Amino acid sequence: MTRPDWMPRIAPALLVCLAAPAFFVVQWTWLGWLLLAAGIGAAWLMERGAVTASGPSLTRDLSLIAFGLLIVSVIPLAAELDNMAMLRFTLALGGAVVVPYLISRFVYRDRAISFPWRTHRRWEGLQWAWLVAVLVLGWLILPFYFITSGVYLNWPVVDTPELIGRLFVGVGAVGIWDELFFICTVFALLRRHFPDVVANVLQMIVFVSFLWELGYREWGPLLTIPFALLQGSIFLKTHSLAYVVAVHLLFDAMVFAVLVHAHNPGLLPIFLI
């Protein structure tokens, strides 16, 4: 894809992406609103002052990201498993994907957002090997992270079959949503304006900020930053939503197992700690 000179455009995009840590890390909602307004306003002024329009509109694409962030920011992201909390998550997270897609498709009349589930290419041996590696790495790293840092306490106690089932559904559903929003929406929109590496770093800021409020705190960013960047890179190589979702769900399967283990020592005696 031929992009216009992207360097001047980095400031508005960075402002919009920095709204994510404002919303989800420091939780200063007013700052998030201010950063979104500043970023979109700067993009509009930049494009309004351009002599000729070339390529997709940065203002429109940043507005789609902003809509998603605003929708997610209206709910607390602390993990809860009661019916109202799960309904709240479903409506907010679902809306953060559906609303930008519908605006892009039917208001802006473009196809900036898509969900390429199938690529009609068989997964290669290296891709299968990575799936196995994800399970092994999760098994080795996640128990140490969750238990020694105490972040497993950011998730509710799951000590009944019903709660364990709800946790399984919730962890998996949020994992799928992560790829629909951060990769297929945020990353895809940013790639229309910036080199892949730059777009990947910008989407990582949004991805990691969301995971922080969700519960991956303490030294969690040492895990979530490379994970977010890897997911973006894998998508670039495979162009397959199915594959990045498979990677994420395998990782989240380990997250689920570790949370059950941490809250119920001895129930799943498969970990080293």
- Digit-by-digit pLDDT tens for the chain (273 residues) are 546 578 888 999 999 999 999 999 999 999 999 999 999 999 999 988 665 556 789 999 999 999 999 999 999 998 899 999 999 999 999 999 999 999 999 999 998 899 988 777 888 899 999 999 999 999 999 999 999 999 999 999 999 999 999 999 999 999 999 999 999 999 999 999 999 999 999 999 999 999 999 999 999 999 999 999 999 999 999 999 999 999 999 999 999 999 999 999 988 889 988
Domain count, the chain: 1
Domain-located, residue 271: no
Would you report the helix, strand and coil content of the chain in percent, each value rounded to 5?
Answer: 75, 0, 25
Domain-located, residue 239: yes
CA atoms of 80 and 65, how far apart (whole Å): 26
pTM: 0.93
Domain-located, residue 179: yes
Angle at 52 (CA atoms; ends 46, 56), nearest 5 degrees: 70
Domain-located, residue 272: no
Domain-located, residue 270: no
Domain-located, residue 232: yes
Residue with tokens 């700052």: 31
Domain-located, residue 268: no
Domain-located, residue 88: yes
Q: Domain containing 206: what range? A: 7-263
